[in-house]
């Protein structure tokens, strides 16, 4: 449990660090990927609903804090997206590229679309088609590319933590 | 009661309600809830600062080879400029003296007298694709105050929105949450400069509420008006790129190109009001 909390904290901090610094340098057409959405999808695919929801909440809250605007919107959206993914994750072939791409694309579009509706449209902005094609879709595609190299390393870390837990439980028994 | 508390749907609804409450409470920039930002920003700030430093050094290293080519041509140009500038310095010294004498005579107060200048470096940019907010390495430990204007040597950058212990968030003038009371330098007409969703990605912003029959042309300079109490008067914001005229009385707007290049911005100055 202790290792799991440390690993989760490192994952969140590294996500925050890369999102606010490194990713700025790999922008294409002024669009950068959203690493925290990608990490949320990966964790939701690998872990139980409770752990996924908790991690999604923290990833979302981290993004809210980094943005420096209203706290809670990304946390809420990440939380709501992670639950259905984690509920069906055992029925999916998680290693299949198509599964990763579909879930990342769907999650990214849903999260950013809803964020736009909540934050911008309620203020009277009416640029939805423009924003959809120039921000939401390119970011979702970018996230799909980012998940491919990231899924395996994160899965390996979680498998390693599971192994440690199993060994400890066996020793305790 | 226990069954209700362990019910998954109940927990789900409770979390959603709590998050909605958090969003409502933190809506104001000055909300006390925003202090939880320190949980992320305090450990992240040294990492961001280190990365920003390394990134700058790597950029400088590669830039060095490119710079050598330019240096020779620039050197010749600069020698010419030096002689011109020497003459200008003499003029400026004379004008400064005259200006001071006239200000003293009129008992004018320098608008920047009430501000303390605090230099800061950008350690992180906005993490998403929606806003134009960045983080600087000055926080409450440097006694930065909310709504302090942020400038560079060229002109207005924005204002401080949220302050953590080691860092602060700055809302730039091209962010959609930014509104600046401004003035056209030529005609002295008051306008409002604000960020725009579409223009943000191009590093531009727009000027609204242009009064009818206002003499506004591409190339005109826009500066802060001093109205509103946040930005001091006379800070250069940018230049008018184009004017879009519509039929309504106040429907015309202008597109403004800020003097500050937000893509390449590295260091800023925070104007802190003296106590």
Q: Is A73 in Cβ contact with B15 (below 8 Å)?
A: no
Arithmetic mean of pLDDT, B62-79: 78
pLDDT score at B87 = 86
End-to-end CA distance of chain B: 55
Of A46-55, A119-128, B45-54, B91-100, highest mean pLDDT: A46-55
Q: What number is the ipTM of this complex?
A: 0.75
The answer to the question of residue A168 being in a domain is no
Residue the block writes with tokens 């531009």: B204
Which range among A128-132, B29-33, B117-121 shows the weakest confidence by mean pLDDT? Answer: B29-33
Q: Is A30 in Cβ contact with B201 (below 8 Å)?
A: yes
Assign A139 to helix, strand or coil: helix
Last residue of some domain: B110, B136, B166?
A: B110
**Rounded Cα gap, residues A172 and B7, in angstroms:** 30
pLDDT tens digits, residue range A81-98?
999 999 888 888 877 889
Q: Which band of pLDDT confidence, cut at 50, 70 and 90, is reported for residue A111?
A: very high
The answer to the question of residue B1 being in a domain is no
pLDDT tens digits, residue range B30-69?
666 666 666 666 776 777 777 667 766 766 676 677 677 7
Position A65 pLDDT exceeds 70: yes
CATH code of the domain in which B166 resides: 2.40.10.340
**B246 interfacial to chain A (CB closer than 8 Å):** no
**B178 interfacial to chain A (CB closer than 8 Å):** no
Torsion sign across C-alpha atoms A33, B43, A68, B154 = negative
* Judgement on whether residues B248 and B137 belong to the same structural domain of the protein: yes
The answer to the question of residue A172 being in a domain is no
* Judgement on whether residues B89 and B208 belong to the same structural domain of the protein: no
Last residue of some domain: B84, B110, B136?
A: B110
* Judgement on whether residues B214 and B165 belong to the same structural domain of the protein: yes
* Judgement on whether residues B141 and B241 belong to the same structural domain of the protein: yes
* Judgement on whether residues B52 and B133 belong to the same structural domain of the protein: no
Q: Which domain holds residue A47?
A: 2-24+33-161
**B208 interfacial to chain A (CB closer than 8 Å):** no
Domains held by chain B: number: 2
Nearest to A139 by CA among A42, A24, A41, A33: A33
Position B165 pLDDT exceeds 80: yes
More confidently predicted of A130 and B63: A130
* Judgement on whether residues B102 and B190 belong to the same structural domain of the protein: no
Residue A79 in contact with residue A57, Cβ under 8 Å? yes
Which range among A38-42, B45-49, B139-143 shows the weakest confidence by mean pLDDT? Answer: B45-49
| Closest-CA residue of chain A to B160 | A68
**Rounded Cα gap, residues A43 and B48, in angstroms:** 24
The answer to the question of residue A166 being in a domain is no
pLDDT score at B101 = 78
pLDDT score at B62 = 64
Residues of B in contact with A62 (CB under 8 A): 40
Domains held by chain A: number: 1
The answer to the question of residue B226 being in a domain is yes
The answer to the question of residue B47 being in a domain is yes
**Rounded Cα gap, residues B67 and B256, in angstroms:** 31
Q: Which domain holds residue B236?
A: 115-273
In total, the C-beta contacts within 8 angstroms joining chain A to chain B are: 118
């Amino acid at each position: 449990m202790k290792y799991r909390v440390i690993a989760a904290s490192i994952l969140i901090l590294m996500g925050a660090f890369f999102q606010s610094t490194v990713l700025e340098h790999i922008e294409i057409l002024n669009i950068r990927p959203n690493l925290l959405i990608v990490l949320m999808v990966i964790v939701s695919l690998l872990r139980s609903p409770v752990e996924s929801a908790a991690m999604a909440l923290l990833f979302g809250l981290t993004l809210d804090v980094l943005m420096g605007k209203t706290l809670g919107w990304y946390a809420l959206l990440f939380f709501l997206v992670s639950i259905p993914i984690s509920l069906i994750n055992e029925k999916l072939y998680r290693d299949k590229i198509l599964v990763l791409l579909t879930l990342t694309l769907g999650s990214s579009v849903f999260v950013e679309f809803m964020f736009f509706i909540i934050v911008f449209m309620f203020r009277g902005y009416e640029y939805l088609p423009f924003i959809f094609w120039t921000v939401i879709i390119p970011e979702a595609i970018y996230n799909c590319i980012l998940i491919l190299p990231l899924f395996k390393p994160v899965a390996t870390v979680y498998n390693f933590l599971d192994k440690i837990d199993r060994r400890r439980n066996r020793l305790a028994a | 009661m226990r069954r209700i508390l362990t019910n998954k749907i109940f927990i789900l609804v409770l979390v959603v309600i709590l998050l909605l409450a958090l969003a409502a409470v933190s809506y104001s920039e000055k909300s006390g809830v925003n202090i939880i930002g320190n949980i992320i920003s305090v450990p992240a700030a040294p990492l961001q600062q280190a990365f920003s430093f390394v990134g700058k050094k790597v950029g400088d290293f590669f830039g060095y080879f490119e710079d050598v080519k330019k240096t020779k041509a620039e050197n010749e140009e600069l020698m010419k400029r030096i002689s011109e500038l020497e003459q200008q310095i003499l003029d400026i010294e004379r004008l400064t003296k005259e200006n001071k004498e006239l200000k003293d005579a009129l008992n004018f107060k320098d608008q920047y007298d009430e501000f303390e200048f605090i230099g800061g470096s950008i350690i992180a940019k906005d993490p998403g694709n929606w806003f134009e907010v960045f983080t600087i390495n000055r926080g409450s430990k440097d006694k930065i105050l909310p709504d302090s204007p942020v400038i560079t040597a060229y002109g207005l950058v924005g204002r401080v929105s949220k302050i953590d212990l080691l860092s602060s968030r700055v809302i730039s003038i091209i962010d959609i949450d930014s509104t600046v009371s401004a003035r056209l330098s030529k005609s002295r007409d008051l306008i409002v400069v604000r960020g725009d969703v579409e223009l943000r990605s191009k590093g531009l912003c727009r000027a609204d509420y242009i009064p009818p029959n206002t003499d506004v042309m591409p190339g005109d300079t826009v500066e802060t008006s001093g109205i509103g109490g946040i930005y001091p008067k006379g800070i250069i914001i940018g230049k008018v790129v184009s004017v879009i005229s519509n039929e309504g009385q106040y429907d015309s707007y202008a597109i403004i190109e800020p003097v500050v290049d937000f893509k390449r911005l590295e260091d800023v100055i925070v104007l802190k009001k003296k106590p």
